[in-house]
């Protein structure tokens, strides 16, 4: 890996310097850069010297005078320029290890890199931090970090992560607290391991820390590809366990007198409870973990639906193809759209035949499952435009996780598709209706 330029912003300093996509930044002020942290730190000067390797192989050195905080306008291919720190754990619930062969390569990457946690909000376990890593974190005051804890019981955490270094989690959390580095914490709830009394004990340990910004609890995901027998057998979260966990989170927040612990949306689906109101989620700190995504979408629709017309000129049929998890929210939105004259809206959840019934999120829907779900809607009386969220596709592409493209799905179904880029907003849906 290297500091390869992916894009240069318009009217930026980098554009003036004729830096282009494909160029490589070798050093700044004669110092090598290993990640965006180095890059951002070294750019905080009024005079800097940049060594650039052009995409044709030529080496250039540019001295630049600028304001202290001026951004150069460079977007890199990756946030780290050396090797991504790999995950050294063998977690019993690891989703990567539950996948079959033949999917795109990126789905098999397991990282545990504190730099990506700081820069992009990915989750780390703190099991591979070196002395140099800690010194750098302390020196630069990096944070917040997103940390997968799961349990503070040392023996249980070693068992769940299958790594002897996992036992030091409380020690590491207290080290972060001592250095005033804020943290967002995550618990993947695995019934018969870290639920019930173990969860209660873990939350009590969290309560003693002063640097915790949020705590997310998410249910374990179990695919049909997992060998689920013998030691390490996983059990799905049941309605009873989901209800108990929601209550435990509420008790913690009431005791702490602030909203810290949030259960993911899936817990409320499993418990048969309505999605909580906006205040439950605080700052929506862990959206990528499925905590508050549905509520954020519904809150956005409250604002956007004011722009909906009373009537559209020509008959429009739309079909929301969504995950089981998001189905209740999309039904609510669809109901409002059906009040518009000449517009017919319906919702269908895509059944996960590929992964198994326990997987209910849109980001794991395959092309074939989508085809099987929407193809029957292509008839002489109904030829809807199918609306799907962009999380079904690999970022910046039209590729599903099984390698097939959106064009392939179109050819197999004979239907047109509208991809919603911002999955937390309904603006694109309303814009489509108004177009």
Mean pLDDT by 10 residues, the chain (435 residues): 91 93 94 94 94 93 91 93 92 88 76 95 96 96 97 98 97 97 98 97 96 97 80 90 98 94 96 95 91 95 96 93 93 96 96 89 93 88 89 89 93 96 95 94
C-alpha to C-alpha distances, 105 to 76, 93, 394, nearest whole angstrom: 20, 20, 12
Q: Going edge to edge, which strands form the sheet with 183-189?
A: 123-124, 145-148, 183-189, 212-219, 261-263
Residue with tokens 């435009």: 385
CB-CB contact of 59 with 51 (8 Å): yes
Q: What domains appear along the chain, each with residue ranges and CATH number?
A: 5-76 (2.30.42.10), 96-291 (3.80.30.10), 300-434 (3.40.50)
The tokens describing 45, both together, are 């000067």
pLDDT at 231: 65
Contact 323, 361 (CB under 8 A): yes
Non-local CB neighbours of 43 within 8 Å, separated by 6+ positions:
28, 71, 72
Going by C-beta distance under 8 Å and a sequence separation of 6 or more, which residues neighbour residue 110?
86, 87, 94, 96
* Helix-strand-coil split of the chain, %, nearest 5: 35, 20, 40
Question: Cα–Cα distance between 340 and 371 in angstroms, integer?
Answer: 28
- Tokens 């700044």 identify what position? 28
Residue 233 to residue 227: CA distance in whole angstroms: 8
Q: State the pLDDT at residue 380.
A: 59
Query: Cα–Cα distance between 309 and 299 in angstroms, integer?
Result: 19
3 state DSSP class of 69: coil
Half-sphere exposure for 293 (CA within 13 Å, toward CB): 27
The structure's pTM equals 0.90
Question: Which segments within 206-362 are labelled E, that is strand?
Answer: 212-219, 261-263, 311-322, 341-349
């Amino acid at each position: 890996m290297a500091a390869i330029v992916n894009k240069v912003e318009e009217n930026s300093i980098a554009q003036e310097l004729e830096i282009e996509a494909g160029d490589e930044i070798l050093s700044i002020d004669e110092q090598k850069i290993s990640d965006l942290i180095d890059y951002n730190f070294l750019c905080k000067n009024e005079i800097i010297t940049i060594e650039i390797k052009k995409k044709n192989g030529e080496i250039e050195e540019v001295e630049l005078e600028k304001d202290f905080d001026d951004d150069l306008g460079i977007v890199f291919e990756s946030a780290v320029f050396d090797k991504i720190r790999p995950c050294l754990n063998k977690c019993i619930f690891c989703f990567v290890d539950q996948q079959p062969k033949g999917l795109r390569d990126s789905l098999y990457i397991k990282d545990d890199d504190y730099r990506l946690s700081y820069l992009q909000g990915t989750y780390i376990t703190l099991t591979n931090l070196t002395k140099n890593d800690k010194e750098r974190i302390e020196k630069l005051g990096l944070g917040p970090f997103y940390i997968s804890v799961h349990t503070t019981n040392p023996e249980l955490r070693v068992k769940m992560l299958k790594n002897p270094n996992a036992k030091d989690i409380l020690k590491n959390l207290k080290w972060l607290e001592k250095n005033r580095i804020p943290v967002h914490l995550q618990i993947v709830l695995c019934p018969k391991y870290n639920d019930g009394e173990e969860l209660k004990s873990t939350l009590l340990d969290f309560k003693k820390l002063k640097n915790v910004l949020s705590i997310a609890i998410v249910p374990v995901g179990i695919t049909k590809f997992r060998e689920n027998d013998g030691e390490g057998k996983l059990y799905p979260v049941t309605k009873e366990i989901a209800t108990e966990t929601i209550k435990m989170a509420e008790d913690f927040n009431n005791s702490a007198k602030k909203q810290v612990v949030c259960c993911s949306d899936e817990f409320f689906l499993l418990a048969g409870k309505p999605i909580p109101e906006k205040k439950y989620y605080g700052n929506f700190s862990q959206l990528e973990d499925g905590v508050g995504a549905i509520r954020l979408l519904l809150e956005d629709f409250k604002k956007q639906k004011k722009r909906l017309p009373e009537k559209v000129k020509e008959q429009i049929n739309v079909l929301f193809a969504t995950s089981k998890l998001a189905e209740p929210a999309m039904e609510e939105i669809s109901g409002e759209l059906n009040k518009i004259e000449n517009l017919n809206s319906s919702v269908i959840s895509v059944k996960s035949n590929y992964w198994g019934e326990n997987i209910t999120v849109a980001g794991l829907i395959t092309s074939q499952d989508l085809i099987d779900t929407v193809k029957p809607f292509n008839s002489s009386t109904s030829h809807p435009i199918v609306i799907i969220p962009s999380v079904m596709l690999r970022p910046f592409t039209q590729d599903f996780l099984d390698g097939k493209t959106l064009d392939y799905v179109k050819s197999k179904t004979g239907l047109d598709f509208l991809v919603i880029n911002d999955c937390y907003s309904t603006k694109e849906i309303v814009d489509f209706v108004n177009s």
